[in-house]
Copies of this chain bind each other. A is one copy, B any other.
Amino acid sequence: MSELIRVRLEPPYLLLIGSETDPIYAKTAMGIVQWCPEKVCGQLRFDPSALDLGVPDLSIEEAIDSGARSLVIGVATVGGLLPDGWLSVLKEAASAGLDIVSGMHNRLNDHAGLAEAARRSGARLIDVRVPPAGLPVGTGKKRTGRRILTVAADCAIGKKYAALALHRDMCAAGMNATFRATGQTGIMIAGEGIPIDAVISDFVSGAAEVLSPDNEPDHWDIIEGQGSLFHPGYAGVSLSLLHGSQPDGFVVCHDPSRTALSGWEHYSIATLQECIEVHLEMGRLTHPGIQCVGVSVNTSKLPESERQACLEEITHQTGLPAVDPLIDGCDAIVEYIRQQVED
């Protein structure tokens, strides 16, 4: 990513859990521990009853002694706002020189005392929801290197997880691959990225171009998808990301139990076949050779006895590998990519 328009987070991270007890609200911290444990030096909990991520409990002072560079807010709050009670902790961390990394809705720099503490120590206040300045309009020009994008017929259906799992398994297979993050948790995991849905609409495809720049011919960017081409609120975001990413291949994330759009129940969900066809049709604009390379299936709501039949049926229908990445991993998709796309 161009040096001028990226933010790079500095590990090791101290993960702020506070008093949170509910794993649902700690998805960010849990995702970081799951996908990049090497970036985590510890957790900061206000209370022994708070959720335990299985990493060392450290005070700010102890974290600094162990080399921490950033305090990452790892929990969401109701309404997405920073609790006032956290400010003294954040100020202490910033004063001690830790970058503060937040995905909250209110901006760190809006807290005058915190901004002043950071200014004095040279720590950075990084709101990962804020896109970098200076993003260009998309050119549509072909770039070198290869790209895979995860897509779906709805939001919140596993696009980030599928991209991370595919990236992991491509690396394990010895391929040269980079995970490219487009949302806040993904950015914290990757340590860099662009929060694509916060970009001004004219610049979203350009942001996607910046996110996966020219690369070596055998290099693969695995790009975290956002939204859905079939979503009445977010389809434009997804189309810009598709066009700017110019993927050689896309993985469709699919939940066979979902019949309507989550939170938009007045919309029924597109079929897997429709989802593949529309992505092929719309993706051809910037990459005529685009193809679907696999289906990532969430089988968690199926009885164990029906799981395998479901995956086989999808493969039969589509001619593509179908895996539940949580259970099967993505090796079948990696193999398909090597056979069908690499040549």
Contact = CB atoms under 8 A, between A and B. Distances in A.
Interface of A: 137-141, 196-202, 204-206, 230, 232-241, 243-244, 264, 266-267, 278, 281-282, 285-286
A235 B283 CA distance: 11
B232 A201 contact: no
Given A200-B200, A202-B233, A206-B233, 13 more contacts: A140-B233, A140-B267, A196-B201, A197-B200, A198-B200, A200-B201, A204-B236, A235-B282, A236-B239, A236-B241, A236-B243, A278-B281, A281-B281
B236 A285 contact: no
B235 A237 contact: no
A266 B236 contact: no
A232 B243 contact: yes
In this complex, the member of A199, A202, A238 whose beta carbon has the largest number of chain B beta carbons within 10 angstroms is A202
Nearest to A270: B285
A241 B240 CA distance: 13
B235 A239 contact: yes
Task: Return the 3 tightest CB-CB contacts between A and B, nearest first.
Answer: A140-B232, A236-B240, A236-B236
Contact of A140 (B137, B139, B241, B264): B264
Given A230-B285, A232-B243, A237 B140 contact: no
A281 to B, nearest CB: 8
Contact of A201 (B137, B201, B266, B285): B201
B139 A233 contact: yes
Nearest to A230: B285
A127 to B, nearest CB: 14
